[in-house]
């Protein structure tokens, strides 16, 4: 394993060589890929979403049922950041790797849609997204777009057009199961990939954290780019303890530079 606490040319070259040999690469992205776009992560001291509030109190399925108003009050400033954010250099680099044919699937723990904004396809959102909402009373599913401006601008709670029940964004809260089809597709992609790139994930949230291990155990190469250590660093081919928005573009540039 090659470890880089500072991005040295040899580590970039090693990563680029591994990527160039792949045909069925998977990128697993976490909150760290979107922090350069202004979206806070969850666990960083002082700045993480859970540094000042207990998540189970506002962002669990049970808490939403009992007090949806509090949930939406907590969500509003976060939603404003998420929905106005733009892709950064890391998202664009992932898109380039996909265009070049090295990456086939993107599995993301994020709900910000920035991979899609960057142009990437086959993005599996295993923790849901803001694109749709579901009524907690009659289970009607609707597009979020008509409800977002009144919510962000005036704090108006989204209500079901059929029964006037509260509409819950289709993001996965604590105590909820992940969306079935994206999760099955993510598992399949990771079991058949020849390369796994972990981009900005601490690999602490199960069951997603097991996906890279499944890939490695089936012979896939592993590149990890994350500020903090992960449990799989010892199994990785290359580890960068650096900003993913710096490292991924350097890997892409090295691939393009290689003859």
Strand order through the sheet with 238-240: 2-4, 238-240, 221-225, 195-199, 25-29, 103-108, 123-125
User: What whole-number distance in Å separates Cα of residue 220 and Cα of residue 20?
Assistant: 14
> Which of the residues 95, 115, 127, 221 is marked catalytic?
127
Q: Is 34 exposed, middle or buried (0-12, 13-18, 19+ CB in 10 A)?
A: buried
127 tagged catalytic: yes
Spell out the alpha helix ranges (H) of 21-67: 55-58, 61-66
User: What whole-number distance in Å separates Cα of residue 42 and Cα of residue 35?
Assistant: 10
DSSP 8-state class, residue 75: H
What is the residue whose two structure tokens read 């806070």? 40
SS3 content of the chain, % helix, strand, coil (to 5): 40, 20, 40
Q: CB–CB of 127/171 below 8 Å?
A: yes
Residue 220 contacts by C-beta under 8 Å, 6 or more apart in sequence?
190, 193, 194, 195, 196
Q: Give catalytic residues, as residue numbers.
A: 127
């Amino acid at each position: 394993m090659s470890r880089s606490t500072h991005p040295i040319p040899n580590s970039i070259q090693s990563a680029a060589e591994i990527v160039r040999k792949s045909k069925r690469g998977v990128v697993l992205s976490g909150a760290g890929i979107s922090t350069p776009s202004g979206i806070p992560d969850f666990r960083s001291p002082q700045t993480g979403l859970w540094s000042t509030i207990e998540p189970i109190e506002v962002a669990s399925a049970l808490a939403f049922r009992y007090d949806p108003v509090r949930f939406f009050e907590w969500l509003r400033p976060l939603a404003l950041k998420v929905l106005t954010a733009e892709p950064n250099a890391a998202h664009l680099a992932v898109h380039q790797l996909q265009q070049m044919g090295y990456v086939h699937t993107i599995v993301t723990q994020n709900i910000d849609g920035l991979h899609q904004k960057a142009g990437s396809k086959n993005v599996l959102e295993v923790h849901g997204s803001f694109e749709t909402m579901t009524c907690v009373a009659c289970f009607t599913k609707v597009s979020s777009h008509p409800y977002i401006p009144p919510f962000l601008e005036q704090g108006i709670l989204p209500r079901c057009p059929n029964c006037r029940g509260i509409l819950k964004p289709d993001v996965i809260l604590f105590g909820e199961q992940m969306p079935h089809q994206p999760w099955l597709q993510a598992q399949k992609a990771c079991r058949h990939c020849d390369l796994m790139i972990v981009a900005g994930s601490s690999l602490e949230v199960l069951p997603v954290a097991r996906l890279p291990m499944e890939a490695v155990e089936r012979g896939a190469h592993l590149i990890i780019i994350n500020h903090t250590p992960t449990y799989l660093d010892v199994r990785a081919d290359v580890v960068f303890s650096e900003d993913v928005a710096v490292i991924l573009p350097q890997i892409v540039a090295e691939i393009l530079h290689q003859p």
